Amino acid sequence: MWSRDYTDFSYLWHRRTKKTTVMAYKIKYGIFPNPQPDEKGNTTYQVRHTPEGTMNEKAFLAHLKYHNTYNTTMMQASLIVLKDEIIEQLRENKRFRIDGLGTFQMKVGLKTKYDEEGNPIKRQYTDPNKITANDVEVQGVSFTPDPSFVKALKDRTSTANKYGRGAAGKNQPYTRDEIINFLNSYLKENHSMTRRQMERALNITQYRAQKWLDAITSEPYSKYYCKKQGTTYVYYRYGWE
């Protein structure tokens, strides 16, 4: 497997010059050989996303608490209820659909058997009448994303060569100078900025905007700082308030 960085493009907008600059953030992917050769015997390849870690419930709630106005206690309670309800409805042999997100469905299969050494044995039946309820078990849950959910993801993630660039993985990621130029232009005109305003101005995700703001305000001798006003974090440049 080969690992590559594929870069996505978002627009950086400079208010003073009305100039649009293309920026990029990396989408990780790996290149894998297909198990079967093509009709000519050649090895072909596929690409798959290679995620960097997982946001679990604890991290998600901490993220909401820091970056949004949601009541995290209520959010946690809602997540517990949602998980319980999904399990309950699947047990009732129903699919569970969340509009705008997708559909959960139970996956069943033949129970796994093990030999004396603890190795799994693949079970096969030639007579379907010999399969009873005792041979069947729950093996997982499938998730089918809602088309609108996939569309929203695609809208925020470019495809290869969308802007006529070279081969995937050859484009440059975000640069600190581009972000600093944007902050200077925006704050000189508006004096303050929220994370959401940065998202909209740059057409980037909440995560990407917050990551840049956290990085820049935490630098030694940073010219930028944030101050909480009510439930919102507002960003400033020293001397430009």
Ordered structural domains, the chain, with CATH: 104-145 (no CATH), 176-237 (1.10.10)
pLDDT: is 159 or 239 the higher one? 239
User: For the whole model, what pTM was predicted?
Assistant: 0.49
Tens digits of residue pLDDT in 200-222:
777 677 888 888 999 999 999 99
pLDDT in tens, 191-202: 999 998 888 777
pLDDT in tens, 147-160: 998 887 777 665 44
* Spatial separation of the C-alpha atoms in residues 40 and 229, rounded to whole Å: 65
pLDDT for residue 82: 92
Beta strands, E only, the chain: 2-14, 19-33, 45-49, 96-98, 102-110, 113-114, 120-121, 136-145, 193-194, 224-229, 232-237
Higher pLDDT, 111 or 1: 111
Q: What residue has token string 């047990």?
A: 91
The per-residue pLDDT for 93 is 92
Helices (H) and strands (E) in the chain, counts: 6, 11
pLDDT at residue 124 above 90? Answer: no
Mean pLDDT of the chain: 77
Band (144; pLDDT cuts 50, 70, 90): very high
Assign 164 a pLDDT band (cuts: 50, 70, 90). very low
Best-predicted range by mean pLDDT (31-35, 57-61, 67-71, 134-138): 134-138
Residue 162 pLDDT exceeds 60: no
Range with the poorest average pLDDT among 22-26, 36-40, 52-56, 68-72: 22-26
Predicted local confidence at residue 208, as pLDDT: 81
